[in-house]
Amino acid sequence: MISAIVYTLKGEFKAQSRHLSHDKPDRFSKSQWHRSDSKTCTLLYLFYKWLIAAYLLVGMVVTLVDVRILGMFQWPENAMYRLKWAIYVTNWSSVILLAQAVMSAILVTKHYLTSGQSDQKMTKLHKIYWLLNNLGNVLGPAVTILYWTTVYDPGKLWILPIF
């Protein structure tokens, strides 16, 4: 049994296994529940991808823009956190998730507009998306768990009231 594990690990850590290459790049543009006999993605899936990207973009804009200008919320007097925006790992993970969502929407749009003919080989866009997707899938939950278990203090931190 140990020899089987060692054999598998040796195969996984070979030089050719570290390259971002895939024999079916159209899998980056279709849902896992997509019918295998169809070449194109559905319009509903395309809409879903752009909706997620727009949602994350709005969230990013809200963290960057001072909404006191709009007169909608009462913010605390000390708004120095905008100057420190780039030092928080939560913000960087949000940037990675936003970039991943936008690239995913672009790949799905490209696939939809070309009826699946554009995904015959891996492009740089596929590879960058793959890398961002792997980073985002690890960073998102990890940063969330670390924040809520180590940083958050309900008595010290101010949270924007939604309702």
Tell me the pTM: 0.71
Burial 132-144 (b: 16+ CB within 10 A, else e): bbeebeebbeebe
What is residue 153's predicted lDDT score, i.e. its pLDDT?
A: 78
Average the pLDDT over 83-93 and give the result. Answer: 82
**How many alpha carbons lie under 13 Å from residue 121 in its C-beta half-sphere?**
2
CA-nearest of 79, 88, 80, 60 to 144 is 88
pLDDT at 59 over 70: yes
Dump pLDDT digits (tens) for 95-145: 999 999 999 999 888 888 887 665 577 788 888 888 898 899 898 899 989
Please, what is the angle between helix 124-146 and helix 89-113, to 10°? 150
Q: Which of 116, 120, 122, 107 is nearest to 39 (CA)?
A: 116
Question: How many helices and strands (H and E) does the chain possess?
Answer: 4, 0
User: Are the CB atoms for 107 and 125 separated by under 8 Å?
Assistant: yes
**Average predicted confidence (pLDDT) for the chain:** 77
So where are the chain's domains? 40-151
Q: CA 118, CA 101: separation in Å to the nearest integer? A: 19
Q: Does 73 have pLDDT greater than 60?
A: no
Task: Give the pLDDT of residue 119.
Answer: 58
The whole-number average pLDDT for the span 133-161 is 82
